Structure 1
């Protein structure tokens, strides 16, 4: 009886903890509310299964407890029970996967008017590259990475001469404008994650991955690395500053000294 009661309290306590606990995600600051919806759907499906299983265990512990003179009923298999379990499990898995497929389609379908930026991860800092007045990012090559060219930009590509480079600083973005972030790593696997934006993606050495999002709220938001990347992993942080369009343009126009052409040794 005590074990059955403990199991019931675990089930009820888990539900109560979810409903009244402050352990909830941060307020969203991008267009990815779809991800929140998908997480909530998954939580309620898995939560319902968890409660049902625990309560069933409590029932079995109480109903089939040892009693003097009672003999257990031996039933090696039940095709009816197996069929029901298969159907219910299949429906539950489909209910969790289906919303995710729609969200994933949106996640990889970048709007045509999105602005390309670049985010570079390395042990243990973030660096960023923004398009200059021409609105285009220059090409890069990992073989060109050097102390004088940490992002590996091609000096022969004129589109990259006005690119704004920010090493180990903050990423500034305008509100309400879709952004496609090209993600690269120069050493190990990192993961770009801003909790308020929700979107996150791995940075894999030798590959260029991407995410896109639209900032919907001004403010300063912390960048985290969500992939264990070495001893300094916990210190690999940065900030995203979302500004009104006018303030962002003012800041961008003042970044001429950070353009690739100005930072290149050839310009000295």
Structure 2
């Protein structure tokens, strides 16, 4: 049964869903497929019950039909509750369980109308940021405080580059309004809220280039608020990071 569900999920993905490029994605796709099959089955069953009820009502007393009417409704309610709990647990796995200590730390900042990505430097510590210092035109889009020595080696880019098969802990922030951070191929979607830092963790698995979208209507320039994610090999990531570190060295 498990192999059949996996095969069905692969067929669904090849027809309608984008490529699955994260470790947690297959479980979400299988749950989506399960929901679709259940909806199809319930729609068929509902019509059967409707026709059966109409036929039996003509030949029986209304009081004798309560099992046909109320028992299915109770079963549907229990089924929907179970599906909701499972979906909540799948989503919480990237949101509330917490990343491992060895996870790659990356900060994501959304602002009208761009995404910026910050990596800690060789000291592995993010520098302090102040919103009043944020100025993309001056080369400081996330507002790193120049007084804080930990921020001197921080790397800020407009492209998210991640190594394949390594857990990543993203810290989502927003400078102005709520922005929706979304990468469909990684099955990720989480709002970035001003004044709050929200963590999501995942493991990218399939090297490639993917679009990062904003799914919240954040202003007139919402249509152009997008960025690029590149998933590369560990060797390519190390080389890219070394090149970026040279660029920030005084």
Q: TM-score, normalised by structure 2?
A: 0.80
Q: 1:154 maps to which residue?
A: 145
* Distance in 1 (alpha carbons) for counterparts of 2:61 and 2:113: 60
Q: TM-score, normalised by structure 1?
A: 0.75
Aligned residues: 234
Segment of structure 1 superposing worse, 127-136 or 79-88: 79-88
* Moved segments of 4+, more than 6 Å: 19-22, 71-74
- How has the CA–CA distance of structure 1 residues 138 and 20 changed in structure 2, closer, same or farther, with 3 Å as cutoff? closer
Q: 2:34 maps to which residue?
A: 41
Q: Which runs of 5+ in 2 are unaligned?
A: 1-10
Alignment of 1:1-268 (within 5 A): 23-32=15-24, 33-57=26-50, 59=51, 75=62, 79-81=66-68, 83-107=70-94, 108-109=96-97, 110-146=99-135, 148=138, 149-166=140-157, 169-256=158-245, 259=248
* Distance in 1 (alpha carbons) for counterparts of 2:12 and 2:233: 35
The SS at the match of 1:187 is coil
* Distance in 2 (alpha carbons) for counterparts of 1:118 and 1:60: 58
Q: Contact 2:53/2:68 (CA < 8 Å) preserved in 1? A: no
* Distance in 1 (alpha carbons) for counterparts of 2:166 and 2:72: 47
- How has the CA–CA distance of structure 1 residues 230 and 55 changed in structure 2, closer, same or farther, with 3 Å as cutoff? farther
Aligned-pair CA distance for 1:26: 1.2
- How has the CA–CA distance of structure 1 residues 62 and 231 changed in structure 2, closer, same or farther, with 3 Å as cutoff? farther
The SS at the match of 1:255 is helix
- How has the CA–CA distance of structure 1 residues 76 and 122 changed in structure 2, closer, same or farther, with 3 Å as cutoff? farther
Segment of structure 1 superposing worse, 225-234 or 240-249: 225-234
Q: 1:67 maps to which residue?
A: none
Aligned-pair CA distance for 1:42: 2.3
Post-superposition CA distance 1:43-62 (Å, at most 9, x none): 222332223224545x3698
* Distance in 1 (alpha carbons) for counterparts of 2:146 and 2:69: 65
The SS at the match of 1:34 is helix
Instruction: Give the number of the structure whose alpha-carbon radius of gyration is greater.
Output: 1
Segment of structure 1 superposing worse, 136-145 or 210-219: 136-145
- How has the CA–CA distance of structure 1 residues 153 and 54 changed in structure 2, closer, same or farther, with 3 Å as cutoff? farther
Segment of structure 1 superposing worse, 93-102 or 119-128: 93-102
